[in-house]
Amino acid sequence: MTDQSMRSLLASLAASGDLHHVTRPVDPRFEISAILSLRDRGPAQLFDSVNGQAMPVLGNLFVDRGRFARAFGIGQDDLPAYCLAALDEPITPRIVSAAPVQEVVHRGSLDIAALLPVPHWFERETAPYITAGVIVAKDPETGRRNVSIARLRLEGGARLMAGIAKNHHLYILAEKARARGRELEIAVAIGNHAAILLGSQMYVGLGDDEFDIAGGLLGEPVELVKCLTVDLEIPAHAEIVLEGRLKPEDLIEEGPVSEFPGFYVSYGPGIAAEISCITHRRDAIYQAILPGYAAEHGLLGAIAIETTLTRDLRRSIPAVRRVVVTEGGMGRLHAVIAMHRPRLGEGKRAILLAMGLVNLLKLVTVVEDDVDPEDPRQVEWSLAARFRGDEDLVVLPGVKADRCDPVHEQMTVTKIGMVAATRSGDGARDSRSEFAAAPREVLERIRATLDSY
Ligand SMILES: Cc1cc2nc3c(=O)[nH]c(=O)nc-3n(C[C@H](O)[C@H](O)[C@H](O)COP(=O)(O)O)c2cc1C
Ligand SMILES: [Mn+2]
């Protein structure tokens, strides 16, 4: 059986020197934020000593694709196929009766800020935010489970505030509860295996349980345990769980909050939540995800978009091999689609389909699969080598935008597509698709023995 906690990954990172212990005491107010952003690409950071707090804080855990591959026990090249397989073969969770996450139980009048070392991230944000909280809820109509992340701001005592986008399922569930004059039970799991975090981000339908995808990623059912004060189940191997209710009639003005483009935004009012119980492991580690324009925040969304989009594009256009949502594009707005010998016009078709399927995408570049779509240099090389501005460019002004797009006007944006592919027609290859190289057999022989030279 797999270790369904985040701890075997921590042990593996420690063994390879990819886990840095910050032993010097840090202030949860801005200091953790500063250290994580200054070390955004390096080893995971474990803050052993947080002022005024008993629990350590872990940050920058999933800052590159290799970390996800390591968590799944696979090679990094296999990650895209591995994620696709999980989407195609979801596994239903299993309920267990005892769980490490319920070793310690706090009930009664709770002060979240005293129990958990929640960082205050940025200067103009008015309070600390829980950023790695995976929120479980059930549809008041159908009883179907939903799992997703929304940042939760500390409002004092047992109160929180969630700013949820109106198109997200969790918002739709809260609306359904409000229409029935009810509150929406939630459980928030902090400190999770990669499968749970990534599963929570997958673009699946309303009514699809993201824990099924997480099970696919684990290769076995996610073990869930029943909550103590709400009728929900949460990952048994998480570090910390908060149980409570969203109160859809109780709105709190959010004010400035950081968003993935890196700027502050003001979305208006968020929904209040009241926490009734906190449980955690005896030696719990508080996981934090640096929000804003940061590697981990970007990558969680990027891999999820890539996986669902690859599946959906391939259903209509088999020549699609890979989709990469780029880091410079904030892990949300720009994608590269690698296609195998696209027919004339097929690249443009993939662009239109991708933009239609994922509202966030506004710059999509098609390359051929003889280049690595993960490498920005090779993508630019493709533009230099294969893109003709007069014919291979698609410009679509006035398309509906996501609320997060930094340049949207009245929620619309200009979308751009570029096809950087050779013109092969039906089978005939352009001479400019043939790379100059030594004979294949020589290359292969030397490659196999290169270390001896
Ligand atoms: C670190 C992190 C923080 C996020 N914070 C929020 C948030 O505050 N509000 C929100 O609406 N979505 C947020 N998201 C995005 C949602 O979790 C994501 O779009 C998810 O797929 C929504 O799922 P749902 O439609 O099932 O609710 C965040 C994602 C990550 C990775
Ligand atoms: Mn959902």
* CATH number of the domain enclosing 170: 2.30.110.10
| Distance, first Cα to last Cα, the chain | 44
- The domain tally of the chain equals 2
Task: Write 139-142 long-range contacts (CB < 8 A, 24+).
Answer: 139/173, 139/176, 139/206, 139/207, 140/173, 140/176, 140/177, 140/180, 140/182, 140/184, 141/176, 142/207
Q: What are φ and ψ of residue 318, in 5° steps?
A: -60, -25
The vertex-11 CA angle with 7 and 16, nearest 5°, equals 145
> Is 333 part of a structural domain of the chain?
yes
Residue carrying the six token digits 């699969």: 369
Per-residue confidence (pLDDT) for residue 428, from 0 to 100: 52
> Is 431 part of a structural domain of the chain?
no
Per-residue confidence (pLDDT) for residue 431, from 0 to 100: 55
Last residue of a domain, one of 251, 284, 317: 284
Atom of ligand 1 nearest to the CA of 170: 27
Do 184 and 208 reside in the same domain of the chain? yes
Identify which of 158, 162, 184 has the alpha carbon closest to the alpha carbon of residue 251.
162
Ligand 2: centre distance to CA 207 (Å)? 7
In the structure, which protein residues have their CB atom closer than 6 angstroms to any atom of ligand 1?
131, 146, 148-151, 163-165, 168-170, 201, 289, 297, 300-301
Do 279 and 322 reside in the same domain of the chain? no
The number of C-alpha atoms within 13 Å of 94 and in the hemisphere containing its C-beta is 15
Ligand 1: centre distance to CA 121 (Å)? 17
Atom of ligand 1 nearest to the CA of 146: 26
Atom of ligand 1 nearest to the CA of 203: 21
Ligand nearest to the CA of residue 145, numbered in listed order: 2
- Kind plus residue range of the DSSP H or E element containing 303: helix 295-316
Q: What are φ and ψ of residue 103, in 5° steps?
A: -60, -40
Beta strands in 29-157 (DSSP E): 44-47, 57-59, 94-96, 104-107, 129-130, 134-138, 145-149, 152-154
- Which of 62, 148, 260 for mutating ligand 1's site (highest number of atoms within 8 Å of CB)? 148
Structural domain harbouring 18 = 7-284
Measured distance CA(266)–CA(286) in Å, rounded = 27
Measured distance CA(12)–CA(427) in Å, rounded = 47
Ligand nearest to the CA of residue 267, numbered in listed order: 1
Last residue of a domain, one of 235, 250, 284: 284
Ligand nearest to the CA of residue 213, numbered in listed order: 2
Give the number of other CB atoms < 10 A from CB of residue 147. Answer: 28
Ligand nearest to the CA of residue 259, numbered in listed order: 1
Per-residue confidence (pLDDT) for residue 434, from 0 to 100: 75
Crossing angle of the two packed helices 295-316 and 79-88, in degrees rounded to 10: 60
With a cut of 50, list the residues of the chain below it in pLDDT: none
Ligand 2: centre distance to CA 60 (Å)? 25
Ligand 1: centre distance to CA 124 (Å)? 21
Measured distance CA(146)–CA(164) in Å, rounded = 14
Do 326 and 232 reside in the same domain of the chain? no
Do 13 and 157 reside in the same domain of the chain? yes
Do 183 and 301 reside in the same domain of the chain? no
Measured distance CA(300)–CA(202) in Å, rounded = 9
Kindly report the length of the chain. Answer: 453
Measured distance CA(254)–CA(271) in Å, rounded = 9
Q: Return all residues near 431 (Cβ < 8 A) that are at least 6 apart.
A: none
Identify which of 368, 266, 252, 380 has the alpha carbon closest to the alpha carbon of residue 328.
380
Strand, coil or helix: 195:
helix
Do 301 and 280 reside in the same domain of the chain? no
Residue 327 — left, alpha, or beta (φ > 0 → left; ψ -120 to 50 → alpha)?
alpha
Identify which of 38, 68, 58 has the alpha carbon closest to the alpha carbon of residue 301.
68
Do 261 and 143 reside in the same domain of the chain? yes
- Which of 139, 142, 149 for mutating ligand 1's site (highest number of atoms within 8 Å of CB)? 149
> Is 432 part of a structural domain of the chain?
no
> Is 437 part of a structural domain of the chain?
no
Ligand 1: centre distance to CA 201 (Å)? 7
Do 263 and 312 reside in the same domain of the chain? no
Do 114 and 247 reside in the same domain of the chain? yes
Do 102 and 48 reside in the same domain of the chain? yes
> Is 133 part of a structural domain of the chain?
yes
Which residue is closest in CA terms to ligand 1's atom 6? 150
> Is 26 part of a structural domain of the chain?
yes
Per-residue confidence (pLDDT) for residue 429, from 0 to 100: 55
> Is 269 part of a structural domain of the chain?
yes
Ligand 1: centre distance to CA 341 (Å)? 35
Do 274 and 364 reside in the same domain of the chain? no
Last residue of a domain, one of 284, 313, 341: 284
> Is 447 part of a structural domain of the chain?
no
Strand, coil or helix: 114:
helix
Do 241 and 376 reside in the same domain of the chain? no
Per-residue confidence (pLDDT) for residue 330, from 0 to 100: 97
Ligand 2: centre distance to CA 425 (Å)? 41
